[in-house]
Homo-oligomer: A and B are copies of this chain.
Amino acid sequence: MSSEINRQWLFVKRPTGPVDESCFEKVESALPQLDDGQVLFKNLYFSFDASMRTWMNDGPNYLEPLKLGEPMRSVTLAEVVQSKNSEFPIGRKVMGMHAWEDYSVSNGVGFSQLLPDLPGIPPSYFLGALGPTGYTAYFGMMDIGQPKKGDSVLISGAAGAVGSIAGQIAKINGCRVVGLAGSDEKCQWIEQECGYDRAINYKTCMDLTETLKELFPDGIDIYFDNVGGQVLDAALANLAQYARIVSCGVLSGYDTGTNPSVPIKNIWMLLIREAKMQGFLISSYMHRAQEAATYLGTYINSGEIVFREHMEEGFDRAPQTLKLLYTGKNNGKLLLKL
């Protein structure tokens, strides 16, 4: 296998606006020999997550900014194809932060989790509903949102991979859930398939602040924020007393040359509504991954949580697939099958 070619996408240009293909360069190299303790992973699926765009900026972030010339990375599902490490037998599937490459070499420490083979569950689900995406929805909603029966909940990016699960978790907990999405098709899907009480196409909605005022006459108890910016401002203007804002993502500001800096005007509503806005990263919750997996697995098996994947194909399409994420044109969890 060492004679095989390893293709890589290098990160070669820091985008100043929307990311495009010119930020990446494809290179090829031979596969390395493994040292003792090392494992060779064949990457099967790349996960596309909105925060990836922010790694490309040179500013404060939760991960070190990408360096020019190093491979682009994403959360990836891989399979062990060579192993000099008894903890990683050949054939086992793993998930972790890998480079955009055909094969990754690692000593297996830190970033690769062994995944179970579950009958009836496609392996790609471990990048989505049963992986970081689902965990993000679960811990954000349950730990920060703290849904109570009868709460009124707003979800932005509601047809997105995280948002759609977060809303369904709120429904399971007895909440009334309104979702914001960017197309009529998405609105239809979250109302008819995900069981949201109501969906609003924010692109065709004239005045979001007023619309939310009508939809939430007693205010928003939980706002699960995937987008930041003007939607956050509209939600802030309509908070109920003791509201919780789950700060999960800032999609509206990611695809810019700096880290998200859309100015927020209504922050003082936190004060007069005695509300809480809290950010979180899934990495801080991984010690409770089993809890989330059990919860999500149960409701996915019973059909009470539905989930859809948007599967692109082919290593060469990685840059285009990343671009796609910021157009809102993907339907469901965006993945690339290598």
Q: Which residues of A contact B (CB under 8 A)?
A: 60-62, 228, 232, 237, 247-250, 253, 259-281, 284
Task: Using CB atoms, name the residue of chain B closest to A275.
Answer: B279
> Does B267 contact A61, Cβ atoms closer than 8 Å?
no
Residues of B within 8 A of A264 (CB): 263-265, 267
Residues of B within 8 A of A267 (CB): 228, 232, 247, 264, 267, 277
How many copies are assembled? Answer: 2
Residues of B within 8 A of A271 (CB): 62, 247-250, 279-281
Of A61, A247, A268, A280, most buried by chain B (CB within 10 Å of CB) is A268
> Does B228 contact A272, Cβ atoms closer than 8 Å?
no
> Does B278 contact A275, Cβ atoms closer than 8 Å?
yes
CB of A232, distance to nearest CB on chain B (Å):
8
> Does A60 contact B269, Cβ atoms closer than 8 Å?
yes
Task: Using CB atoms, name the residue of chain B closest to A261.
Answer: B265
> Does B259 contact A247, Cβ atoms closer than 8 Å?
no
B249, B261, B265, B280: the one within 8 Å of A266 (CB): B261
> Does B274 contact A279, Cβ atoms closer than 8 Å?
yes
Given A263-B263, A276-B276, residue A268 in contact with residue B253 (CB < 8 A): yes
> Does A268 contact B281, Cβ atoms closer than 8 Å?
no
Chain A, interface SS category? loop
Task: Using CB atoms, name the residue of chain B closest to A253.
Answer: B268
> Does A247 contact B270, Cβ atoms closer than 8 Å?
yes
> Does B273 contact A279, Cβ atoms closer than 8 Å?
yes
Of A247, A250, A269, A279, most buried by chain B (CB within 10 Å of CB) is A279
Q: Can you give 18 A-B contacts (C-beta < 8 A)?
A: A61-B272, A62-B271, A62-B273, A228-B267, A247-B268, A250-B268, A261-B266, A263-B264, A269-B279, A271-B279, A274-B278, A274-B279, A274-B280, A275-B278, A275-B279, A276-B276, A276-B277, A277-B278
CB of A29, distance to nearest CB on chain B (Å):
33
B250, B268, B269, B281: the one within 8 Å of A274 (CB): B281
Residues of B within 8 A of A62 (CB): 271-273
CB of A27, distance to nearest CB on chain B (Å):
30
Residues of B within 8 A of A259 (CB): 268
CB of A280, distance to nearest CB on chain B (Å):
5
Task: Using CB atoms, name the residue of chain B closest to A273.
Answer: B279
Of A61, A262, A271, A275, most buried by chain B (CB within 10 Å of CB) is A271
Of A249, A265, A274, A284, most buried by chain B (CB within 10 Å of CB) is A274
CB of A276, distance to nearest CB on chain B (Å):
4
Residues of B within 8 A of A265 (CB): 261-264
Q: 8 closest Cβ contacts across the A-B interface?
A: A263-B263, A271-B279, A270-B279, A276-B278, A62-B272, A260-B268, A261-B265, A247-B271
Residues of B within 8 A of A269 (CB): 60, 279
